[in-house]
Amino acid sequence: MTDRALVVVRAGALTTVQDRGRPGYAHLGVPRSGALDPPAAALVNRLVGNPPEAAVLETTLSGCALRPRSSVVVAVAGAPCPVSVGGRPAAWGAPVVVPAGELLEAGAVVAGVRSYVAVSGGIAVEPVLGSRATDLLSGLGPAPLTDGTVLPLGAPAGPHARVDVAPQPSPPAELVLRVTPGPRADWFTPEAFRVFTSRAYRVSSASNRIGLRTEGPTLRRARPGELPSEAMVLGAVQVPPDGRPVVFLADHPTTGGYPVIAVVRTTDLAAAAQAAPGTPVRFVAVRRR
């Protein structure tokens, strides 16, 4: 019987298994999790012939190296990076055949933050609450990959795509996030909200899968004290005591006590996943839909 598995030769700075996440469990304190850049994850699955819900690998900055035990089709997309098979250059953003025992290398990104690696059949680790996603906040799902980890693969679902290179957006040179005010905008001075939506911020190096932290002007509150903990949603812009906005991403806590000045539109969050430290950030107020 064919050994459908991948051996992790180099895990990189942070490589995790991700899929569409586990929505519907916030009442249990479980975040949605899942790929931070869903369009990139969906693209690599499509390129190798997987269904959109198949699990992929999400790398961070430094990529990873993998050795399949049987011949597989692989696609790497998201943040641009060099790709090689057996030491020879291979295509990024396109399906690539990797023979059994050959080394697939997804190198360090040349722009952006997170690359996605799909393998025909998908990463078939055991699901938890209906998802194979690694959740760094709650600890659910498989642990972040380490050198020597062996990942089981599912059976291929269909033929890979017949494309040379699939078009996809570049990582943002400037991150523009559309925000709807509230629900706690009244906890801030009118001047603070004007600062929030008119001044430039930058992505902090302290950002992670839980939240995109920013550096820039501080936002002054209109009232003292703290809120009781309340529900938090994906894209919530929470303002901690240091006054600098934090945008909640896929592994965000389901409750929090710092006031939420606004909520980012979900469609803008994929770009946030690819905004490297130092990237300029602008928050633009829009009307509720």
pLDDT band at 1 (very low <50, low <70, confident <90, very high): very low
What is the reported pTM? 0.95
Residues 136 and 22 occupy one common structural domain: yes
Q: Examine the pLDDT at 237 and tell me if it is beyond 90.
A: yes
Tokens of 121: 């059949």
Tell me the CA distances in angstroms from 76 to 46, 93, 136, 168, 247, one per residue in order: 11, 6, 23, 12, 27
Which helix H or strand E contains 245, and what residues bound it? none
Residue 163: inside a domain: no
For residue 116, give the nearest of 41, 15, 172, 48 by alpha carbon.
41
CB 216 within 8 A of CB 251: no
Q: How many domains does the chain have?
A: 2
Residue 121 maps to a domain: yes
190 and 84 in a common domain? no
For residue 238, give the CATH number of its domain.
2.40.100.10
Are 143 and 269 contained in the same domain?
A: no
Please check whether residues 189 and 147 belong to one and the same domain: no
| Mean pLDDT within 187-213 | 96
Residue-range definition of the domain harbouring residue 222:
175-285
Per-residue pLDDT band for 161 (boundaries 50, 70, 90) equals: confident
